[in-house]
Amino acid sequence: MNAPLCRISGQAINRAIDFGIQPLGNGFLLPEFFSSEYFYPMEMGFCETSMMFQLIEQPAPEQMFHEHYAFYSSTSRYMEWHFAEFANQVKQSGYLAKVDPFVVELGCNDGIMLKNFASAGMRHLGIEPSRNVAAVANGNGVRTLSEFFSEAVAEKIVREEGQADAFLAANVMCHIPDMLGVVKGIRALLKPTGVVMFEDPYLGDVIEKTSYDQIYDEHVFLFSAHSVQYMFQLHGMELIDVLPQKTHGGSMRYVLAHAGAYPVSQAVTQLFVKEQELGLHKQSTFETFRRSIEQSRVDLVNLLRELKSQGKRIAGYGATSKSTTVLNYCGIGPDLIEFISDTTPIKQGKFTPGMHIPVKPYEVFQASPPDYAVLFAWNHAEEIMAKEKAFVEAGGRWIVHIPKVQVLG
Ligand code: TYD
């Protein structure tokens, strides 16, 4: 078998972590589709040239993003606040032209961030490949094209509307296998003074917290400052700032510009040093990471089996894409977890991908609280813990698996 190649450098990738056969992270389904459920071999590799940690094989995009794709951004109050803050930061950054600035967002979803520009009367354009989601954004007053972004799409936008001051993306870039095509498009789209600001789950947090559940079919890359710098420098751009974020269990906002356009902040230099210390640039780090993941699996399965043997009832909280990786990698099914509570109507009444645990509305959790709840939506821990004081007061206990498997309280 030929060695797989890095999507960025074109060099051979070293195989790093094999998660076995996995279903789609967000592929919640009804029983009539169990027999035709899609599975693929999920394995991560590391390229020592680009320093990019990436999926070796990814399902075809039409398997993942289609008319029934169940992800809308505006599901959490915290995320609404977060994107308003992101938009404010862009407006106040000093990077936008004083007169008639133009802001483009890739993967604008239902318009959760761009509506903050639209309501201020600023020139904006969203690019969202999921047609049904783009329609929701347009309905929210956010001007949105339903396209896959590329150099050709960028050139069309420049011809029709001129170059952009800012190119934004949140939790989108790490989904795109043809990243180099996107980087070329960005270079064509941006004014000489233009900036890219994008954020995604950060590899440094994933390694430090053993949050291996950030790995699933949609996340083709887990970025670091090292890999982002490599990828953009190939096309004459460079990192000028980095801003750590709390979202998605630890993300990084990267700010890039045409090389030499702006001074490079101290935060960039400091992050490079920190990443060297964490070893994000070398293969051996991913071998240690693999051993931590294996230990996490042993600890979680042992804990759930022990509690079950004591006759305890265990449910899950938040039917996240992340939970699909944990459940399938650990082999945890309805024998251990009775149901998963989730507030998203389109997930309710369905079953989790692969392990087929029923997803039930939040009201079921409230009406019949379990003894233990596994916090699969751990990235929303603060919001959830604040809301669920009554569960704990009534004797319920949280199980978390990040940064290590434990029962809280
Ligand atoms: P999300 O944070 O998008 O994670 P992922 O990208 O891994 O899918 O998903 C959070 C899920 O948790 C979503 O389905 C909604 C659900 N949820 C609840 O059920 N209750 C809550 O209080 C919160 C904040 C989220």
For 241-275, the pLDDT digits (tens) are 999 999 889 999 999 999 999 999 999 999 999 99
Mutate to test the pocket of ligand 1, among 343, 357, 360, 362 (most ligand atoms within 8 A of CB): 343
Mutate to test the pocket of ligand 1, among 206, 339, 344 (most ligand atoms within 8 A of CB): 344
Residue 59 neighbours by CB under 8 Å, 6+ apart: 24, 38, 40, 217
Quote the ligand 1 centre to 371 CA distance (angstroms).
21
Q: pTM of the prediction?
A: 0.94
Residue 72 neighbours by CB under 8 Å, 6+ apart: 109, 110, 133, 136
What count of residues does the chain have? 409
Quote the ligand 1 centre to 10 CA distance (angstroms).
36
pLDDT, residue 66, reads 57
Quote the ligand 1 centre to 342 CA distance (angstroms).
7
Going by CA atoms, what residue is nearest to atom 9 of ligand 1?
Answer: 320
The residues with which 127 forms a beta bridge, in sequence order, are 106, 145
pLDDT, residue 69, reads 56
Torsion of CA 398, 402, 405, 409, to 10 degrees: -30
DSSP result, 87-131: HHHHHHSS-S-SSS-EEEEET-TTTTTTHHHHTTT-EEEEE-S-H
Going by CA atoms, what residue is nearest to atom 12 of ligand 1?
Answer: 318
CB atoms within 10 A of CB 141: 11
Question: What is the rounded CA–CA span in Å between residue 55 and residue 174?
Answer: 11
Going by CA atoms, what residue is nearest to atom 3 of ligand 1?
Answer: 320
pLDDT, residue 67, reads 56
Question: What is the rounded CA–CA span in Å between residue 83 and residue 248?
Answer: 13
Question: What is the rounded CA–CA span in Å between residue 191 and residue 161?
Answer: 12
Quote the ligand 1 centre to 290 CA distance (angstroms).
26
Phi then psi for 301, rounded to 5 degrees? -65, -45
pLDDT, residue 368, reads 95
The parts of the chain modelled with pLDDT lower than 50 are none
Quote the ligand 1 centre to 318 CA distance (angstroms).
5
Q: Which atom of ligand 1 is nearest to the CA of 318?
A: 12
Question: What is the rounded CA–CA span in Å between residue 338 and residue 47?
Answer: 40
Quote the ligand 1 centre to 76 CA distance (angstroms).
8
Q: Which atom of ligand 1 is nearest to the CA of 343?
A: 19
For 9-37, the pLDDT digits (tens) are 999 999 999 999 999 999 999 999 999 99
The H or E element spanning position 235 is none
Contact 191, 185 (CB under 8 A): no
Residue 383 neighbours by CB under 8 Å, 6+ apart: 76, 77, 78
Max distance between CA atoms of the chain, in angstroms, equals: 67
Going by CA atoms, what residue is nearest to atom 21 of ligand 1?
Answer: 384
DSSP result, 186-210: HHHHEEEEEEEEEEEEBHHHHHHHT
Question: What is the rounded CA–CA span in Å between residue 311 and residue 78?
Answer: 36
Q: List C-alpha distances in Å: 176 to 129, 244, 390.
A: 11, 21, 41
Residue 271 neighbours by CB under 8 Å, 6+ apart: 225, 242
**151 exposed, middle or buried (CB, 10 Å; 0-12, 13-18, 19+)?**
middle
Question: What is the rounded CA–CA span in Å between residue 189 and residue 166?
Answer: 9
185: closest CA among 146, 139, 154?
A: 154
53: closest CA among 26, 87, 24, 16?
A: 16
Residue 306 neighbours by CB under 8 Å, 6+ apart: none
**What is the residue whose two structure tokens read 């692969």?**
354
Q: Which two tokens stand for residue 353?
A: 């991908």
Ligand 1, pocket residues at CB < 6 Å: 75-76, 318-322, 342-344, 347, 377, 379-380, 383-384
pLDDT, residue 71, reads 60
